[in-house]
């Protein structure tokens, strides 16, 4: 996936996240919506991590396509 493709995916997930959060202002979110929000959060973390990996590879003259998406446990274990 290209950097532009990653950014597009991020934007789509953020838009979905906002729609879900906005719908939660009029009525409590159901369990499936809360679960989807959790999935979106993890996927966004994975995509941002992938983008950072690609940028680091480019910066150091390596092939950005040699990067891969890390598993959820790894990206969720990072300290902020």
pLDDT digits (tens, 9 = 90+) for 9-59: 999 999 999 999 998 888 888 999 999 999 999 999 999 999 999 999 999
For residues 17 and 37, the answer to whether their CB atoms sit within 8 Å is yes
Q: Which of 45, 54, 39, 38 is nearest to 5 (CA)?
A: 54
Give residue-wise pLDDT tens across range 52-79.
999 999 999 999 999 999 999 999 887 7
Q: Return the residue matching tokens 């999935």.
A: 39
pTM: 0.89
**Contact partners, residue 36, CB within 8 Å, separation at least 6:** 16, 20
Per-residue confidence band for 80, with pLDDT thresholds at 50, 70 and 90: low
């Amino acid at each position: 996936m290209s950097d532009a493709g990653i950014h597009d995916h991020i934007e789509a997930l953020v838009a979905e996240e906002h729609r879900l959060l906005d719908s939660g202002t009029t009525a409590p979110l159901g369990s499936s919506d809360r679960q989807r929000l959790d999935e979106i959060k993890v996927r966004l973390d994975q995509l941002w991590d992938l983008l950072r990996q690609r940028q680091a590879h480019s910066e150091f003259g390596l092939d950005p396509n040699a990067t891969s998406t890390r598993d959820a446990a790894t990206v969720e274990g990072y300290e902020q």
